Every structure is written in structure tokens, then in C-alpha cells.
Copies of this chain bind each other. A is one copy, B any other.
Amino acid sequence: MSPEGPHRALAGSIQKRLSPGFALDVQVSAPAGITIVFGESGSGKTTLLRCLAGLDRPDAGRIVVGERVLFDSPSGCNVSARDRGVGFVFQQLALFPHLSVRDNIRYGLHRLSPEVRAERTRAVAESFRIDHLLDRKPSAVSGGERQRTALARALVTDPDLLLLDEPLSALDHATQSRIMADLRAWNTAHAIPILYVTHAHREVFALGERVMVLDAGRVLAEGTTHDVMEAPAHEPLAQLAGFENFFDGAVVARRPDAGTMQCRLAQAGIPLEVPLSHATEGEAVRIAIRAGDILLANQEPRGLSARNILRGRVRSLTREGPTVRADVDAGAAFAVHLTPGACESLRLEEADEVWLIIKTHSCRLVEPSGALS
């Protein structure tokens, strides 16, 4: 029996109306492994997790983990939160204020022998680097330390399903990376479904094999991290996935043999070769390009396979975290990401003339925002 087998998977369909303006209506399926739940603030991520954990009761639906039915509205089955075997890290942590960090962590281990409890508590506290805080109350540790405590408390119970609501948001990158490594190792050892809510692209790519994107209570997209984040079907999804450039255009010519189409951007009539789609000639299309997928050159490139080469001028250069963002006017406004190293080796300055190099397959055809909902 492979631990990755469907017998441990989560499958569910959940409907829940919270207010006249918001209803969750999703199909969720997650195999063993980390599934990232992604979506803007207020899209229903926490609500989904609460329904799965048995803290909110869906209006209708069915939740199954492995062979075990946790909720089924037709039959009225509704396993209580405490019997679901679900580990939950709350967005607001919900640490027990009167218990020490140690007692918080071992709270869920009451069925085990004292030695096992102590050993497991010690091990998880060490791996989350909170072993020096074990005797303090949550009010006497820092925000990030609290978050690690909450995570340790949920992981240590060996749940059948793990629900993490932005578990690393209050941590610095180094600590985040360490805990993500721990979590990946834990995941390999336990092979249970893990739903991991986050807003950080960093965490999406570092942890998730699969992503599920929510928008206004519905599943906007679902699949492997690569499929969802690299080839988003809709503009909202593309925005969430970090695409910065969106253009309106029209199909000029289809080249089915080459698998490409020639388009013309509405702005300045810029020609752009994009991958083939079902769009017919003359049809309007929306094109998304990630800022990191555009290459910059300070002299006209020659002999390149890339078919889209646009001349432009640097408007501004801004440092943004680990990358540099160049805003380039090439008829239309393009945002381009470079590494600081590349920026320096190109000796880029504002107002410099540059060439943008865009691979055909970096241009994604997406449904525009309006087409949704």
C-alpha cells in the first residue's frame, strides 16, 4: 500500500453561505502531500478550512478522508471536530493563554504515555527552535515564537489531515525556510493531505506540489503548482500567480503548423507571437506576461530563437526584494524583472535604450476579468 495512494486522500464538496454577499461553494480534493490554498483576502480560505475541521457546519456537501466519511449532508453524518483527527493551525493562533508553551504543545497528546509525550514535545520544540521557551506562557514570547508554538501543537498530534492557515506569516525568511524544510520532511514521513493557506509566492513554490486557488468562494483553478502558476487560465488567476503584464490584442494570423499565432497589441499596434489557441483570426485576446519571463538586452540581440524582440526605453528602475524591476516603455508599458547582478552587468540606467526579448511561450492567453463569474 503506497502511502501516496488515494486511500489517504481528502475529497470533499462544501457549500456554505456566510452572508448574503458571500458563499463558499467548492469541490476540494487533495492527495497526500502539500496542497497550497491560495487566493486573495476574503476569498474563503479560512472558511474552507473551518468546514473541513468540523468547526463550521457546511450547509450541504460531503467530506471524506481516506475511507472515512467526516461529513455527509444527505445522511446527516457529521463527525465532531474532536474525532476528525485533523490538525489545525489557526490564523489567529488560538494558543491557550494559561498554559505554558510546553503544555500547549502536548495538549493534544493526552492519550499517550508521559514518556512518549515528553519525547515528542521535546523533538518538535527542538525542530521549531522553541525549546528554550517551553516554560513560558504565550503572552511572554514573541509573535513568531507563538506561531511556531501553534504549528508544533498541531503537528505533534500526528493528524490524518493537516490544515494550516498562514502558519509562517510572522516569521523571518531564514526561520521560514527551516520550518518549510521540516514540514517537507514531515510530509514525506507521514504522507497525509496537508492544506496550506498562504499568500506568499515564496511558500507556494517552495512547498506546494499542488495548488488550489479560491476566488470569492469558488475554485478558480486547481492542479500542480506548475500548471496553475505558470499557465493561468484567467486574468485574476494570472494576477494572483504574479503576472504583472496584461495586454489587449487581436489575432492577426494563425499558424497551426508552428503552433503559434501572430497578434497585434491594441496599444501602439505592437506585433507579438503567442502560442496557438482556439481563437479565430480577428478575435480579441488578452495576453499575460510575467515580468520575470522578459529578458532585457542593452544592444539589439541577433540570432536569437525568441521571435518577439521589442525596442524600448527604461522609465524607472526599482529594487523590489531580491529582484530589480525595470519599467520599460516599448509602445506599451512593460514591467521587467532582473537580478541585481544582471542589472549591473548591463549597466542599466534610467532612460537607456533597451531591447525586450519575449519568448512566444512566455505569452499566455488568458480570459479577461470580465469573462469570469
A residues 208-227 in Cβ contact with B at 8 Å: 225-226
Contact yes or no, B40 A341, CB < 8 A? no
A142 to B165, CA, bound (A): 12
Q: Which of A79-87, A171-179, A256-264 contacts B (4 or more CB under 8 A)?
A: A171-179
Shortest distance between the CB of A61 and any CB in chain B (Å): 20
Contact yes or no, A341 B323, CB < 8 A? no
Interface contacts beyond A200-B200, A295-B339, A341-B359: sample of 18 additional A-B pairs, CB < 8 Å, sorted by A: A40-B144, A40-B172, A40-B175, A41-B143, A41-B172, A41-B175, A42-B145, A91-B170, A169-B170, A173-B199, A173-B201, A205-B319, A206-B321, A290-B322, A292-B339, A295-B342, A323-B339, A345-B357
Known contacts A21-B132, A321-B204, A293 near B340 by CB under 8 Å:
yes
Contact yes or no, B345 A91, CB < 8 A? no
> C-beta contact mask, A133-158 vs B, less than 8 Å → 1, else 0?
00010001111110010000000000
How many copies, total?
2
Q: List 10 A-B contacts (CB under 8 A).
A: A41-B170, A42-B144, A91-B143, A166-B169, A170-B199, A171-B199, A174-B240, A290-B340, A291-B322, A292-B322
Enumerate chain B residues within 8 angstroms of A293, measured Cβ to Cβ.
Answer: 339-341, 344
Q: B-contacting residues of A (Cβ < 8 Å)?
A: 18-19, 21, 39-42, 45-46, 91-93, 132, 136, 140-145, 148, 165-166, 169-176, 199-202, 204-206, 225-226, 239-240, 242, 290-295, 304, 306, 318-323, 337-342, 344-345, 357-359, 362
**In this complex, which of A171, A320, A357 has the most chain B Cβ atoms within 10 angstroms of its Cβ?**
A320
Enumerate chain B residues within 8 angstroms of A358, measured Cβ to Cβ.
Answer: 341
Enumerate chain B residues within 8 angstroms of A144, measured Cβ to Cβ.
Answer: 40-42, 199
A358 to B173, CA, bound (A): 24
Enumerate chain B residues within 8 angstroms of A320, measured Cβ to Cβ.
Answer: 202, 205-206
Shortest distance between the CB of A138 and any CB in chain B (Å): 10
Out of B132, B136, B145, B294, which one reaches A341, CB within 8 Å?
Answer: B294
Enumerate chain B residues within 8 angstroms of A339, measured Cβ to Cβ.
Answer: 292-293, 295, 323, 337-339, 342
Out of B41, B345, B357, which one reaches A306, CB within 8 Å?
Answer: B345
Out of B204, B242, B319, B344, which one reaches A359, CB within 8 Å?
Answer: B344
A318 to B202, CA, bound (A): 11
Shortest distance between the CB of A142 and any CB in chain B (Å): 4
**In this complex, which of A18, A174, A292, A341 has the most chain B Cβ atoms within 10 angstroms of its Cβ?**
A341
Out of B42, B202, B340, which one reaches A142, CB within 8 Å?
Answer: B42
Shortest distance between the CB of A354 and any CB in chain B (Å): 14
Shortest distance between the CB of A177 and any CB in chain B (Å): 10
A305 to B321, CA, bound (A): 26
A246 to B359, CA, bound (A): 34
A208 to B238, CA, bound (A): 28
Enumerate chain B residues within 8 angstroms of A226, measured Cβ to Cβ.
Answer: 319
Contact yes or no, A41 B142, CB < 8 A? yes
A199 to B290, CA, bound (A): 25
Enumerate chain B residues within 8 angstroms of A45, measured Cβ to Cβ.
Answer: 142
Enumerate chain B residues within 8 angstroms of A136, measured Cβ to Cβ.
Answer: 19
Enumerate chain B residues within 8 angstroms of A357, measured Cβ to Cβ.
Answer: 341, 345
Shortest distance between the CB of A163 and any CB in chain B (Å): 14
Smallest CB gap from A21: residue in B? B132
